[in-house]
Amino acid sequence: MPLERGEFEMKQYLTLKPEQMTDDAKAFAQHLCNQYPLAGVEMFGDDVKPRTLPLFSSQEEKQALVRQLGELQVKRLHASYWAYPTAFLTGNRFSELVERMGGEEEVRAYYGDLTGDHMMARWTQEYAVAAALEADSYVFHLIDYAPIDGMWAFSMDKQTILQAMIAMLQRFVNSLLSQELLTENSPVIELENAGWGLEHGVQTARDYACVLEQVYDPFRRLRVGWEVNHLLHAVGKMKDGSVRFFLPPEEVTSEMRRLEEKYGLEPQKFALEWLRYNLLHPKLWGKVAAVHLSDCKWKTSEYFRNGLLAQPWLAEMQKLNNWEAREEYGVKIVLGEYDSHEVLGDGALNGSDMAVLLAQLEEKNQGLMLLHELKNSVPVEPALQRQLAALKGEH
């Protein structure tokens, strides 16, 4: 399946963060889109403007921001919040949220207030800018996890979290409808899946089906955004070279056990079939908007279980005497072992096999987008070149 311009139907994009840009960011973004088969780039809302502030305060500010993002080739905008939005917005275990974030003022400092109004308004403004940009997607990450990776276990069961997230998403959709921002032609709202072990929320195809069935979405703007790296968080390699799910027994379904039994001695095949099981699930045919593509290296230890760091790493974290040091310790493990966003072929996956899977997915989902999510690569252009080559079987 070649990836030359005009031969690969899928629109392709690249995640860009400030540290990946050159001094002349506008020229760099334009170069990437001209040199490679890119329809644009994706940026994170908090990188556009700090989430604690309104995105714009006047129509003039909004128009100036739209021009600026247009010059940067932004065609996908990622929502600017994550971490415990469900507990916060629903009031479910709010005291736990306060404790885990370090106090009520810390909650206010992160979310902007204690009601959720600021966060909802910020999301709504971000969608308004995406619509004015005629962007292809607004990415909404439905997750629930602790502010310091590894300090606390998940305390709400999966179904409770899903229902809270459905309520949160419905509130957002209603906000867009009330301002007439949501139409049959406005950007899709792309729901990104949670990362196994670190986060709890929308993770499987069945989870997505549950969400999409329950939210009132008259213009069918809600879509699935499969983050491949997050799916691969679930798997690991044993000392003997066999592979399995690094998850609590209660999270491993009969279908997942079947994958272990059938492909446990074929690591790349196991990883591919785990992706296939989710991405090509019949319940989601016609509902997948995009694949966020990067690889994940094989982990050999189950560092996180139900959100909590395993020993001896938890004990090492607990020895640290301040919040910042503990946060840095947890994030280092996350970015090094779970959310590493490797170039395709440098981890669990085979590039050619992944290209075939994407083609099969495109057959079931008209207008499917491909996001190269290489946000940990600096410089990013060589990483993009290698990932494109991997999809053509050249890496």
What pLDDT, in 10s, does the model give residues 341-395? 999 999 999 999 999 999 999 999 999 999 999 999 999 999 999 999 999 988 6
- Please tell me what DSSP assigns to residue 103: S
Q: In angstroms, rounded to a whole number, what is the distance separating the alpha carbons of residues 233 and 302? A: 10
Q: In angstroms, rounded to a whole number, what is the distance separating the alpha carbons of residues 151 and 159? A: 22
Q: 8: pLDDT confidence band, cut at 50, 70 and 90?
A: low
Write the pLDDT tens digit of every residue in 56-105.
Answer: 999 999 999 999 999 999 999 999 987 777 787 777 788 888 999 899 99
Write the pLDDT tens digit of every residue in 296-315.
Answer: 999 999 999 999 999 999 99
Q: 203: pLDDT confidence band, cut at 50, 70 and 90?
A: very high
In this prediction the pTM is: 0.95
Average pLDDT, the chain: 93
Beta bridge partners of 291: 226, 370
What mean pLDDT do residues 125-151 have?
92
Q: CB-based burial of residue 205 (10 Å sphere; 0-12 exposed, 13-18 middle, 19+ buried)?
A: buried
Q: In angstroms, rounded to a whole number, what is the distance separating the alpha carbons of residues 55 and 126? A: 7
Q: What DSSP assignment string belongs to 240-294? A: TS-EEE-S-GGG--HHHHHHHHHHTT-HHHHHHHHHHHHHT-GGGTTTEEEEEE-
